[in-house]
Amino acid sequence: MKLFLDTANLADIKKYAEWGLVDGVTTNPSLIAKEGVSFEKRIKEITKAVKGPVSAEVISTEWKDMVKEGQKYATWAKNIYVKCPMTPDGLIATQKLSKAGIRVNMTLVFSAAQALLAAKAGAAFVSPFIGRINDMGQDGMELIDEITTMYSHYNFKTEILVASVRSPRQVAEAAMLGADICTVPAAIYEKLVKHPLTDQGLSTFLADWKKAQN
């Protein structure tokens, strides 16, 4: 499973890219707004910081404008993926952009039926938001199970990108279900490597080693 960072913070992206395991980056308008920088400048910076896919979301709500925005973003870098929302206009824009060779990440997906439409529209990625489903008292991971099962019956090229992730455990569960990609905020990325027994074990090993040298 590929691991993406879900952030527009350049320092975090550079920090975790150094670990060598960041396969791409997802952004959204809220994440960009938090940074207080120009959208175009930041997206271009991110596309240089990582080799893999970088998602940049359209702001328009009508398909013709979404297509124009998507075409513009695609000129910024080779690794741009245009994020279109799961709306009727988003579905039209996804088809137009995909047919023109521009890769689309269909975002704000909350049901298996929506994921079916994204695949039929030719989206490169479909982004189910599991955390927001859990926030409503439902089981977001169940949706990932449904989509992986559904896609396994067909030859869809669309990759399942698990989004709105809130814990390291969800990353492992997404991988166990066979999701293609999981995008995680920097704070969760940091926690992926952490375990108290690892820290405890390491300090014991180092202390024992030091004692043996005296």
Q: Which of 14, 15, 44, 83 is catalytic?
A: 83
Q: What is the spatial distance between Cα 15 and Cα 72, in angstroms, rounded to a whole number?
A: 29
List 6, 69, 89, 173, residue binding ligand E4P (CB under 6 A): 6
| For ligand E4P, the closer CB: 125 or 156 | 125
Q: Which long-range contacts (CB under 8 A, 24 or more apart) does 33-36 make?
A: 34/8, 34/9, 35/8, 35/9, 35/10
Q: What is the spatial distance between Cα 187 and Cα 190, in angstroms, rounded to a whole number?
A: 5
- What is the dihedral sign for C-alpha 22, 14, 11, 59? negative
Q: 15: buried, middle or exposed (CB in 10 Å: 19+, 13-18, 0-12)?
A: middle
Quick check: 159 binds ligand E4P (CB under 6 A)? no
| For ligand E4P, the closer CB: 119 or 197 | 119
- Which residue do the tokens 């955390």 mark? 131
Q: What is the spatial distance between Cα 66 and Cα 82, in angstroms, rounded to a whole number?
A: 9
167-186 binders of ligand E4P (CB under 6 A): 183
| For ligand E4P, the closer CB: 122 or 128 | 128
Quote the least distance from Cβ 135 to ligand E4P, whole Å: 8
Q: Which helix (H) or strand (E) holds 105?
A: strand 104-109
Quick check: 26 binds ligand E4P (CB under 6 A)? yes
List 68, 120, 132, 191, residue binding ligand E4P (CB under 6 A): 132
Quote the least distance from Cβ 159 to ligand E4P, whole Å: 13
Q: Is 15:44 a contact under the CB 8 Å cutoff?
A: no
Interaction pattern, residues 92-131, with ligand E4P; x per rule: CB under 6 A: ---------------x-------------------x-x-x
**Residue 83 annotated in active site:** yes
Quick check: 191 binds ligand E4P (CB under 6 A)? no
Quick check: 164 binds ligand E4P (CB under 6 A)? yes
- Binding residues (CB under 6 A) for ligand E4P: these are 6, 26, 28, 107, 127, 129, 131-132, 163-164, 183
Residues belonging to the active site: 83
